[in-house]
Structure 1
Amino acid sequence: MLLLVLDKRLMLITFCSLLLTCTPVPHSQFRVLNTAPEQQSNRINVTNHLRTTPRPADNTQYPIALGDVGPIKPLYAGNNRYPFSCDTVRSGLGQPLVDNQQALGTAVFRENPDGSLSNTVIGYSKDCLVPSTLRYFVVNLNGESEEITDSSSLDKHQFDSNQQLIRLEQGTINRHIYTIAMPIKKTEFNTWRTSSLWNKKLIYQFAGGVGIGFRQGKVNPKKLLKRRFGQLHNGYAVITSSANKTSYTYNMLLAEDTAWRVKKQFEALYGKPIYTVGIGGSGGGLAQYLIAQNSPSLIDAAIPLYSYPDMVSQTIYALDCDLINTYYHFKSDLANWDNSDKKRAIEGLNNAEIEHKSWFYTPINQFLTGKAFYRPKIYSECVHGYFGLSSLVNNPAQGFLKPLFSQSVNHQTNWSYWQDLALITQTPNAATSAPALWDNQGVQYGLNGLKQGSLSATEFLHLNYHIGGWKAQAEQRPEQLLFFPFVKTPIWLTQWSRHNIYVAGKKPAKRTVANLAAVRQAYRYGQVYLGFNSIPTIDIHHYLEDQLDMHHISTSFATRLRILKQQGHLKNHRIWIADKHYTPLNEAFSVIDKWLTTQQAPDDSSDRCFNKSGEIIAQGENVWHGDWNNQPAGACTKHFPIYTNSRIQAGGPFSGSIFKCQRIAVEKALANGVYAPIDMTPYLAELKRTFPDGVCDYDKPDLGNPFNVLNDKSDLPPLKSSQVAKSNGRS
């Protein structure tokens, strides 16, 4: 009874606290008032793979003139989706242009003579467009920048080797904000197409973060210029778009469509560069792998930082994390699992006695659920790296972007990463919620831990009976969050999103079954990295495993395994991992320059690892050998140990690319030695009860991959490295 009363009070407090966010929105936020109708546009028809599909001709007239607006509809990435939140003001570009009077999108206000905004609405903007314009910045060696608005401000600066004048062109292409940064001389101030300092080499800047669409995204000029000052000062030009920052969208088809158009704008202004090299971290790293695979001539080389093979296969194990923590905290004896070896046996990721803010939620949630109080000491990367990710990515009812939209828009929208991919994965006239690609049917969590003796048979069976899966998208409910005034971080009353996870009863907790048609569409439309690597690539990571950072290094080797499987060689792929205090970026640009100039991999491009002073610890072909390729540990692997993840610990491949496993009966798994050296015969009845649908057979390929020749259900021929569309988006 006490729990019921407390729960009602907490719900009331939560509701009242949420009202604090419903006060009138100041001009700076420009909340989206109403959702516009979907704007029809072409989506490329892929019958085999995006890589082998010619892109349509782009009839847009380039360059987009100053004062004009770039193309609004994508060339081949499908319809413009709404709602769509504007970020032009936050990018320093002013209010968007009025494009309707029907209150669709964001209100646009009349400006006062002093530049402030009045309360008079002059129209609305659904597409967040701004005309192309020029801006100028002086940047110094420390990356500090000052925007220059007139020649008198420019005269105050004495340009030397420590300063650089940069001309920025900004506007909108495909509704997203594009940026072209060109180093110029002082005499080129207030000119447009001059480029006397350009070395004829181009950088395409990609950026990371976890985004679910629905917004234009901002470009912070000062941040961009600080990040790329060294290269700009050496004569490189830099281009980018907010569509190429995964904080705003992980739709790689839209990202590619936009990147081609931004590059065409650049080339129309300045001519074709000698080469274009991509750079970017996390999501900006995986974007380079996917774009190089899907449209190989867009970039000529890649420097992915903190990368993953792709986002959709990262979710395979990332969405396991809250299932596992829900099991520890609410379905079992938490004290039993507060053990480093046991947690690693299940999760694979590193762990340590590093406290996380979620510790404060634990006693509250224990009290609400009637669990005995226990404060855990051991936290893993599942907590430090992935806390809240499932609610952002997988829960259409949550919507952490809600403050950007009106209440009516929030009620109409499904807020999930899957919805961002709906134009690719969803069939026409389908249900409102886009299909999820995630699946754990037949997954034997902790199987390797069982085989290695870290888990007992009883622990293994209890874990798999109770762990369950994620509820269907339409069944999920928002998190219960308790907000306090003037405090940014809410208290989670549904820790680990436990209310959206199936619970066991007389039968084992239900597992989640993926939509196979959607998985296959993701493969076909290039959202999954298959291992095509035809351009020079230096994959760089800081070693952050001791900090339990989500950017673990095992992802680089998952990518490498896919390349080896697809191409049979690593001619173009290098892995450099460094102490967190050193970043070998200058060396990478130098090596890439030699590689592209000579068309041969230079000797100093080999795999390597660096200490905190930048000295090379070891280099060469075998330095990264280890469990990932069934080889004795190399010199770099010994210095920087490689961890695994929950699906590898469940017996899955290190390459991490199985969305939907093929299953076999428990009896056959026993006969095939799946549990050896542990004899699980005495537990046959319990195994069958726990896995009524059978268990994963990871010797067989992914049911969702339409290109697997070993898959009897394959509907497409295998892709070959030589296969690529002739146009590559340039027609």
Structure 2
Amino acid sequence: MTLVSRRLGAAALAGAVATCVTVAVAGPGAVAAPGSSDAAADRDFGVEVLSGRPDMVTGGDVLVAVTVPRTVPVRHVEIRLDGADVTDVFAPASQDDDVLVGLVEGLDTGENTLRVDANGRGRGRPSTELELVNHPDTGPVFSGPQVPMYCSADGEPWNLGPVDENCHVDGTDVTYRYMTPGGELADLPDEDSLPADVATTTTTDGEEVPYVVRVERGTINRAVYETAILHEPGTPLPDAWTDTPGWNGKLVYTFGGGCGVGYRQGTATGGVEQDLLLSQGYAVASSTLNVYQNNCDDVTSAETAMMVKEHLVETYGPDTFTMGWGGSAGTMQQLLISNSYPGILDGVIGNIGYSDERTVTTNGHDCRGFVDYWADTDLEWTDAERRAVTGYGNPNACFGYTLFDGVDDPQRGCHPSIPVEDRWSATNPHGLRCTISDQVSNVYGVDENGYGRRAVPDNVGIQYGLEALQDGTITSEQFVDLNAGVGGMDVNGERTEARSQADPAALEAAYSTGRVNQFTGGLTHTPVLEVRRYRDDVGDFHDRYRSWVMRERVLAAHGNANTHVSWTSPDNPEVNAQMEADALATMDSWLTARLELASNDDAVREDTVAARPADLTDGCYRADGSFVSETISYDGGGVCNELFPYHADPRVVAGGPLASDILKCSLTGLDRDGYAVEFTDEQWARMQHTFPSGVCDWSAPGVGQVGLAGTWIDFG
């Protein structure tokens, strides 16, 4: 693998990075024009940033490639940064003397100009300029004004040294780990010699190398980051000019699950010491702000991933392509980042995941209402009846989903590490409000109280258990009583008798900026392979229905699902491991074929579909590990649905769409004749009290449900 093939491959896949728009959002901002200049045949210089976008350089350095026209001898090239000669940092890229690569340092914060000339310039001598916009390595770049941050880089488990006001430490910490005969990574006792029992491994390039891992840690964008790569100490590291046998040239970026309000630097990343990835020669990277339990904000997650990847490329050289990796909300981040900030990830490998945070969080609020109602009602409810109104395979899934509603509670959403005296309360109105809406107020805006505008919860008009009523599973009294008693939550996290109401401005921002994932941005052309171990029957809220939600949205956006593949397996560790390994190899093949098809820098859906392996289908794994090739279908039969049946959620049972993409429904009037049962006058009076403005009209678009305004939105 030469640098040039990596560079051209990365450019072909990352072409959508150049897709930008100027949009007005809650935090007003505009995306600058992207760019690298293209060489005009043999006459002009071509200048390309290899480490990211020219308008989003960070940390004061940038990796640049200059393509020299055939009319200019390489020795006559002169390169200057804001007038200062930087030619000496450039050297030929591998075998290609007409491509010079250099790590240019010393950029000022803000605008910089890189100028390339043929010395002895005169009439007809080529020259070109590239504008570079540099940002601090502490951020922000496009996420907007930063929230307060409680530091942890100076404590356990990192112990990286003293931190500054931005939670940053000087320098990096490098350690070496080796694979023991017992199959565990352990600290390398001596970097001058390898243990006699060190394992070896063979990369996807067929290189057999000692299983020794270089782990680097530091701080970027106020996060602690980690990178890992196979490398034997004492030998040259890979860089932009040098290949080494331990790295196959490809990057896997890992993301962690959960969902928690930030304000803290965090104590875990998505994990880089992963045998499946490292043993095959992949570089692995992640950071604490890519763990949703620590930072449930896909904008700062995207920004941080971009910056960490930039650092890795500047350190080790360009990667061929980058695959995402992670489960639960780790999948959620991959999908949101790929759709809103395309080019950071080239392919998504998700596990037990969801489409986005806001539409899943609604289920947490629905379930909170159910759980509180069932604790107080005098009516008897069987498990079958509870299952019928929740839609889940097991009603206990609702207890799991109640974890989600805490992220909209300004007090309950705070992590224990945030001092109580710093938190918002009625007696401390200027304290930190630990809600998603407040943490991501750059996206949603603020209300007249200075609180982040709420995109959820909202359950006005929802007739919980409607389908269960219509098919006779629950009685009219249960239906009326449930809907009268489910209640809502106010802006300060207090349970209320009244239903919850979202802010219309926040709802529109959620759709237009991509927080509700409509799969119409970068996911138009980004391949997605999502896998799921089946646990619907035991009440796990990572239910298979979430796979169908993705499929519904892809079909609605594109009319076909040629870029989305879904696999399911039994809850069996060995089969799960086989499925994950198959997914990694398959996505690698898909992206490799995508590179071979690309003839320019346009990342288009047609090329991605054409590159899809011919034998790649939806399907499921049996308990013996054999694969069933079968297109997924929500209502259809087949082996996979027999083995792993789909279920639903409370809003689907209430008549909502399978795409689960409506945060707040449009309303229509109550119609007493529209039910399969008859209500008593007393019951109907309670219905009118519960739904004074009407009930959901699911055939109409949701309130504020608009299209995606564009990608690479800047909230600064």
**TM superposition score normalised by structure 1:** 0.72
Identity %: 26
Aligned equivalent of 1:133 = 173
Q: Displacement of 1:525 after TM fit? A: 2.3
SS in 2 for 1:238: strand
Which residue identity lines up with residue 623 of structure 2 in the other structure? Answer: K
Which residue identity lines up with residue 329 of structure 2 in the other structure? Answer: G
Residue deviations 1:236-268 (CA, integer Å, cap 9, x gap): 111212111111112111111111111111222
**1:661 pairs with 660, 665, 674, which one?**
665
Which residue identity lines up with residue 179 of structure 2 in the other structure? Answer: V
Aligned equivalent of 2:251 = 202
Compared with structure 1, are the counterparts of its residues 326 and 577 closer, same or farther at alpha carbon in structure 2 (3 Å cutoff)? same
Q: Displacement of 1:86 after TM fit? A: 2.0
Residue deviations 1:246-292 (CA, integer Å, cap 9, x gap): 11112111111111111111222233222111111111101111111
Which residue identity lines up with residue 565 of structure 1 in the other structure? Answer: A
Which residue identity lines up with residue 182 of structure 1 in the other structure? Answer: I
Which residue identity lines up with residue 228 of structure 2 in the other structure? Answer: A
SS in 1 for 2:200: coil
Aligned equivalent of 2:630 = 620
For the pair 1:382 / 2:398, whether they are aligned, the reply is yes
Indicate conservation of the 8 Å contact 1:279/1:285, yes or no. yes
Aligned equivalent of 1:177 = 224
For the pair 1:548 / 2:554, whether they are aligned, the reply is no
Aligned equivalent of 1:121 = none
Q: Displacement of 1:524 after TM fit? A: 2.4
Q: Displacement of 1:527 after TM fit? A: 1.3
Aligned equivalent of 1:401 = 415
2: CA distance between counterparts of 1:206 and 1:51?
A: 27
**1:570 pairs with 561, 567, 570, which one?**
561
Structure 1 segment 250-289 matched on structure 2, within 5 A = 250-289=296-335
Aligned equivalent of 1:16 = none
Which residue identity lines up with residue 218 of structure 1 in the other structure? Answer: T
Aligned equivalent of 1:597 = 592
Which residue identity lines up with residue 272 of structure 2 in the other structure? Answer: L
Indicate conservation of the 8 Å contact 1:83/1:409, yes or no. no
Q: Displacement of 1:200 after TM fit? A: 1.2
Aligned equivalent of 1:647 = 651
2: CA distance between counterparts of 1:430 and 1:140?
A: 58
**2:351 pairs with 291, 301, 305, which one?**
305
Q: Displacement of 1:167 after TM fit? A: 1.0
Q: Which runs of 5+ in 2 are unaligned?
A: 1-20, 35-54, 64-102, 107-134, 203-209, 595-610
Indicate conservation of the 8 Å contact 1:457/1:680, yes or no. yes
SS in 2 for 1:240: strand
Instruction: Tell me which moved more, 323-332 or 415-424.
Output: 415-424
Which residue identity lines up with residue 255 of structure 2 in the other structure? Answer: F
Indicate conservation of the 8 Å contact 1:246/1:284, yes or no. yes
Indicate conservation of the 8 Å contact 2:666/2:696, yes or no. yes
Aligned equivalent of 2:499 = 511
Compared with structure 1, are the counterparts of its residues 53 and 700 closer, same or farther at alpha carbon in structure 2 (3 Å cutoff)? farther
Residue deviations 1:58-100 (CA, integer Å, cap 9, x gap): 24323699xx997112111011211424244224343332x3x
Aligned equivalent of 1:692 = 692
Aligned equivalent of 2:148 = 82
Indicate conservation of the 8 Å contact 2:272/2:284, yes or no. no
Indicate conservation of the 8 Å contact 1:137/1:166, yes or no. yes
2: CA distance between counterparts of 1:87 and 1:345?
A: 47
SS in 2 for 1:344: helix
Indicate conservation of the 8 Å contact 2:181/2:198, yes or no. no
Compared with structure 1, are the counterparts of its residues 139 and 403 closer, same or farther at alpha carbon in structure 2 (3 Å cutoff)? same
2: CA distance between counterparts of 1:595 and 1:457?
A: 52
Residue deviations 1:519-572 (CA, integer Å, cap 9, x gap): 211222221110233122111000011221121110110111011111111111
**TM superposition score normalised by structure 2:** 0.73
Which residue identity lines up with residue 473 of structure 1 in the other structure? Answer: V
Which residue identity lines up with residue 214 of structure 1 in the other structure? Answer: Y
Aligned equivalent of 1:62 = 61
For the pair 1:560 / 2:578, whether they are aligned, the reply is no
Compared with structure 1, are the counterparts of its residues 648 and 96 closer, same or farther at alpha carbon in structure 2 (3 Å cutoff)? farther
Q: Displacement of 1:459 after TM fit? A: 1.4
Indicate conservation of the 8 Å contact 2:261/2:407, yes or no. yes
**2:281 pairs with 205, 226, 235, which one?**
235
2: CA distance between counterparts of 1:548 and 1:242?
A: 29
Aligned equivalent of 1:587 = 582
Indicate conservation of the 8 Å contact 1:86/1:128, yes or no. no
Compared with structure 1, are the counterparts of its residues 575 and 408 closer, same or farther at alpha carbon in structure 2 (3 Å cutoff)? closer
Compared with structure 1, are the counterparts of its residues 587 and 403 closer, same or farther at alpha carbon in structure 2 (3 Å cutoff)? closer
Aligned equivalent of 1:414 = 433
2: CA distance between counterparts of 1:429 and 1:82?
A: 21
2: CA distance between counterparts of 1:131 and 1:187?
A: 20
Structure 1 segment 447-458 matched on structure 2, within 5 A = 447-458=466-477
**1:166 pairs with 213, 225, 228, which one?**
213
Q: Displacement of 1:140 after TM fit? A: 4.3
The CA RMSD over aligned residues, in Å, is 3.1
Residue deviations 1:2-61 (CA, integer Å, cap 9, x gap): xxxxxxxxxxxxxxxxxxxxxxxxxxxxxxxxxxxxxxxxxx973389999557712432
Residue deviations 1:476-513 (CA, integer Å, cap 9, x gap): 4xxxxxxxxxxxxxxxxxxxxxxx322xxxxxx31111
Which residue identity lines up with residue 585 of structure 2 in the other structure? Answer: S
1: CA distance between counterparts of 2:655 and 2:30?
A: 33
Instruction: Tell me which moved more, 211-220 or 643-652.
Output: 211-220
Indicate conservation of the 8 Å contact 2:25/2:509, yes or no. no
2: CA distance between counterparts of 1:728 and 1:406?
A: 34
2: CA distance between counterparts of 1:158 and 1:458?
A: 69
| Count of residue pairs brought into register by the alignment | 566
SS in 1 for 2:272: helix
1: CA distance between counterparts of 2:561 and 2:313?
A: 31
Q: Displacement of 1:202 after TM fit? A: 1.3
Q: Displacement of 1:191 after TM fit? A: 8.9
1: CA distance between counterparts of 2:355 and 2:216?
A: 32
Which residue identity lines up with residue 172 of structure 1 in the other structure? Answer: T
Aligned equivalent of 2:78 = none
Which residue identity lines up with residue 454 of structure 1 in the other structure? Answer: T
2: CA distance between counterparts of 1:449 and 1:299?
A: 42
Which residue identity lines up with residue 677 of structure 2 in the other structure? Answer: I
SS in 2 for 1:450: helix
Residue deviations 1:618-662 (CA, integer Å, cap 9, x gap): 2132xx2133xxxx3232111101111111111111111111100
Aligned equivalent of 1:521 = 509
For the pair 1:47 / 2:47, whether they are aligned, the reply is no
Identify, as 1 or 2, the structure richer in helix.
1
Q: Displacement of 1:190 after TM fit? A: 8.6
Residue deviations 1:297-319 (CA, integer Å, cap 9, x gap): 21111101111010110011121
2: CA distance between counterparts of 1:681 and 1:655?
A: 34
Compared with structure 1, are the counterparts of its residues 130 and 523 closer, same or farther at alpha carbon in structure 2 (3 Å cutoff)? farther
2: CA distance between counterparts of 1:55 and 1:179?
A: 31
Which residue identity lines up with residue 127 of structure 1 in the other structure? Answer: C
Which residue identity lines up with residue 451 of structure 1 in the other structure? Answer: Q
Compared with structure 1, are the counterparts of its residues 145 and 153 closer, same or farther at alpha carbon in structure 2 (3 Å cutoff)? farther
Indicate conservation of the 8 Å contact 2:260/2:413, yes or no. no
Q: Which runs of 5+ in 1 are unaligned?
A: 1-43, 100-124, 352-378, 477-499, 503-508, 708-717
